[in-house]
Structure formats: C-alpha cells, structure tokens
Amino acid sequence: MLKTSYGIIFLLLIVQSLTTQAQKTDTLKTDSLKIDTNLLNKYRIEPGKNALPVRFMPLEINKDQIPVSLPDYKVSYWHKYVIFGLNFNQSAFTNNYSAGGVSAIALGSNFDFKAEYNKMPFSYTTELSLLYGVSKNKGQGSRKTNDRIFFDNKVASQLSKHWFFFGSLTFESQFAKGFNYTNPDGTEAQNPYLISNFMSPGYLTESIGFEYKPVKYFDLRIGTGTARQTFVLDTTVLRNQDTKYGVPKGHTIYNQLAFQVVAAIDKDLMKNMHLNVRYALFIPYQQPLAFIGHRVDAILTAKVNRLIAVTMNGTFLYDKNTAPGVQATEGLALGVIYKFP
C-alpha cells in the first residue's frame, strides 16, 4: 500500500515538471516573435524618392460675367395663306371627223388670299377671292366662263365663348364685260348685247351685328344693321331697261337698308379634300318679301398630289333685282393648284 502511494506521488511530480517546461517554451517563442517583428520595423526599406523635379503651379480662379441671352421667341397672331390655281382644257377635231365636234380651248384661273389676326378679345379677318375663265370655240370669239371679284373684311370683339360683336365691309364685282349670247326664246343671238361690266353691277355692303362661331371651321354672321350700295357705272349696260340691277334709270347708285345673314363653312372633309361654302341671305327693309336675295357659293377641291387637283365650283343665286328667276353656274376642272405656306 505504501509503495503504491509513493508511485502516485512520483507520477504527479513528473506531470507537473513537464507542464512547467511547456509553459517556459511557449513564453520563449512569444518573446522571440516580438523580437523578430521589432527587427523588421527597424530595418524596413523605405521607397526611393522621385528624381525628377516637380513644380507646383498656383491655381488662380477669377470671376467673369458671361452674358446669357434668352431665346428670342416671338408670338405671331397672324395666320395667312395664298392659293393659286390654273386650269386648262383643249379639244381638237379634223374637218372630216365623222362624229362631229368643234375645236375649243379654255383657260380658267383662281386666286385666293386669306389672313386672320387673333388676339383675344380682338380679331380681324380679310379674304380676297378672284375668279376668271375664258373659252374659245372654233368659228366663234372668246367668251367668259367665270368672272368674279370678292373682297371681305371683318373686325370682331369677343363677348362670350362663342359670340362676337362684329363689323364688316364687303365688295363684289367683276373684271370684264359680260354679254348675252341668246335670245329670249333660247336661240343664239346674232348681235350679243352688253349686260354687265366692272362696277356694273358692283356691290359695297357694310354690316354690324353678332357673330356665332361654335367651331373653328364654321361661323354665322347676323347683321342686324346692314347697308348696301349697288353701282352701275357703265350707262351702256342694259340700255333699254328702266332698272339696272335695282338701280333706277338715270342713276348710277342705289342704297338699301337690310337684314343680312351670312354663314360660312371652311373645312377639310378628308386628308386631300377641302370644302368651302358661303351662303348669304339679304332681306331689304324697303322692298316686298319677294325681293329677298339668296346666294350660295361652293368650291370643292380634291388634291391628286401636291400640285394637281380637281376643282368643282358652283353658284346659286336668286335676286329679283338681277333677274326674275333662279340663276346658277357650275364648273368642273382639272389643273394645277398651289397653296403656300
């Protein structure tokens, strides 16, 4: 038993001695690592300096005023356009052509200018329309196919969203002499007689009233106060008649007070098709209701391309001061038409 106790004590001493020796070894290793690190820090190699000289230039900042110009935008209240058209028709036959026919040549032209100024509540519109056409058949002299001068000016002031108070001045006449080539029975007259000329008749109409414009392409004028002067300056026109377009014989001007309604449509029906219609109703205060005048002018334009267009125009007129019955004219032409801008 005693021997066993001595053996256990001897083992414990050996274990304690080994543990103490291991701790000393770890301490020596740690100290050695510290020493090595210090040596590295002491003898480390510094990077070499740049051998090239470096100059440092001082940076100067100076304040300078840069002119800033604003965009030069200008608002234009004008809208203008010009339309010019020229139509040419020609036909020819030989003398022995079995179906018959008469050689003919015809030329027609039109010029339209319109300008609008809109700066609410004020607006101004001016419109000039000129038409002239002539044809010549073989064996006959030249004859007019169309002839009109129309010049309209309107000033308006806005009262509400769709209503305006307006004043207008309109002039209508023709360029050249007009003859009647038929007798009352419908036969061709051997001696055509003069029935119209420039300012014979000529019309000058002043009107004030109210204008209704619900959409851009339609407007309606109600001229509650309208005056019209009819001129016949050529005394050879309708020489044997007592009245000439309402003007008494021996006079050159006739004044009328009336109530007038003017409706106009100026609209693109399709991409290449445009319609322009103007209707005028004239009710004179000094004459019976039978002398109420109606006039419709319509132009339908269908563009084939940028320059070529087909134009159909027509006029319907009822005015007892001009003729006892209804008057009408119609034309269809293919020609050159140009609009700018």
Among residues 76, 89, 175, 109, the alpha carbon closest in space to that of 338 is found at: 109
pLDDT reported for residue 2: 46
**Which CATH class name applies to 142-340?**
mainly beta
Phi, psi dihedrals of residue 27, rounded to the nearest 5°:
-65, -40
CA distance 265 to 203: 22
Q: Where are the domains of the chain?
A: 142-340
Positions of the chain with pLDDT under 70: 1-54, 56, 70
Phi-psi region of 14 (alpha: psi -120 to 50; beta: other; left: phi over 0): alpha
pLDDT reported for residue 75: 81
User: What is the tens place of the pLDDT at every residue in 142-181?
Assistant: 899 899 999 999 999 999 999 999 999 999 999 999 998 8
Place of tokens 């001007």: 253
pLDDT reported for residue 33: 46
CA distance 89 to 92: 11
pLDDT reported for residue 239: 80
Structure tokens at 330: 């119609």
CA distance 140 to 192: 12
